[in-house]
Structure 1
Amino acid sequence: MKPLAPLALFTRERRARLAGYARDSAFRTLSRDWLRASVQRQYVYNFDWLGRPIIQYPQDMVAMQELVWRVRPDLIVETGIAHGGSLVLSASLLALLDLSDAAEAGTPLDPRAPRRTVLGVDIDIRAHNRAAIEAHPMAHRIAMIEGSSTAPEVLAQVRARARGVQRVMVCLDSLHTHAHVLAELNAYAPLVTPGSYCVVFDTFVEDLPPGSFPDRPWDVGNNPKTAVRQWLAGHAEFAVDSDIEQRLQLTAAPHGFLRRRE
């Protein structure tokens, strides 16, 4: 039998290792306990991406890089902007895709006319955050809409930008109540193109001790994961990509990586 090529061997070893994680209850418990401890210590607020604060776990940033490279979206729609770090992350990943395409085609890249862009929606884009995002080197790839992500006039603008785009990815990370996330799923998931993803953040609220967010309206029983469960029951065109969280172990989006079937 011909020996496997190095990359194929590496991939097979990885699959075996990840399969072992599924049977390793001690490791899963350790990961869960660390995640809970990190929430108590506001660990997720410690990071920047290209100079802008990004309220994400590093593991989830890596997961987004893998998804963007695999899907190669032309548009990423994000609800929830905060300091803009996630928009800058998406914009920088899309810039690398454009650079990759240009290198493969042997054509020059025009930085003033990016092919791939990111659209952010937030009910309150604070003036200092908007100014910082608009001054960022990635700003030419970023558009922003201020308003409720579920308001008809906002949705009309988002749908207009997505119309005719070949590959669309969506990230939901705004108000984390069941009702709001369910409404966002109904509004934004249809924009996701086959083979791409709708990533629903902060589904981990359901897995944390009750009262972990005393100053927020979401809690166990009322959060993004409960919304995802209800929504998926009526949408067979999407499925949870459990392989992602199996690899990450530490993620704010367990059961939140939703892939649209091709």
Structure 2
Amino acid sequence: MQLQQQAPPTTRVVPHGWQPAVTAGDLLAQPAPVVVPRDWWSWAGAHGGLLVALAAADAASVAPEAALRSSTAQLLRPVRGPLVLRSALVHAGRRITTVRTEGTVDGRTALVVHSTFGAPNDARTAGADPLPVPLVHRPEDLEPFVPPAELVPFGRHVDIRPTDGVLPLTGGPTARLSAWVRLREEDGAPGPLRTTVLADALAPSLYATLRVPTAVPTVELAVHHRSPAPVDSDDPWLLVRARTDWSDEGWVSEAVDLWDRAGTHVATSRQLRLVS
């Protein structure tokens, strides 16, 4: 099965006339237990980036005055039912707060997430050399790409604009993907929770070298957020560049970087995947 690009839309209506009943914001604000609709699934269960964002949102209730700096998750089994989240404070220091969140479905642990929070706009943080943004066309000048809904229902919530001719399932020589992405139903610059969702928005970068779809579920996912500086723009787009560092005996290590339209590097993500 080949994934096809679509002609540029004239509005922000989701393809094929489909309209979502529940947005990312609805889910992130939903009290536990969280019921993730099937249109937010990827393959056999709820989308991994969304699950980690839900856990981080729950953890934020334990550290309400701090800024999310990282989420490190172990995704143990697919989430197909109501997700119960329980967050507990692990450490509360002067500059660092750590919260552990366990997500269970029917009493069985489905994910464990450690969230690290820091003081917002800490003046003592020295900025290192930024990761330069790749030179690409604007998202408005690029054609959208829609994954098949029967495999990745979550893809209908995300506007994906590949920046080059490297697409999933085209059997290319390099395991890398690059695209502008945004949540279709929401405006405004994405904060750390939505950045967490979008960090997992693309197909596995290994797909650039494959021709037949196969499940490559995430086993571990870590997202590191840069200093949450004041937002100067309401632009919803993030440029996502994903690459496979290595694959061996069915295991895949993937690195993802994200920039906003102003060229600011906003987050880095790493995933450990397992080819099913």
TM over 0.5: no
With the length of structure 1 as denominator, give the TM-score of the two structures: 0.25
Question: Which structure dedicates a bigger proportion of its chain to helix?
Answer: 1
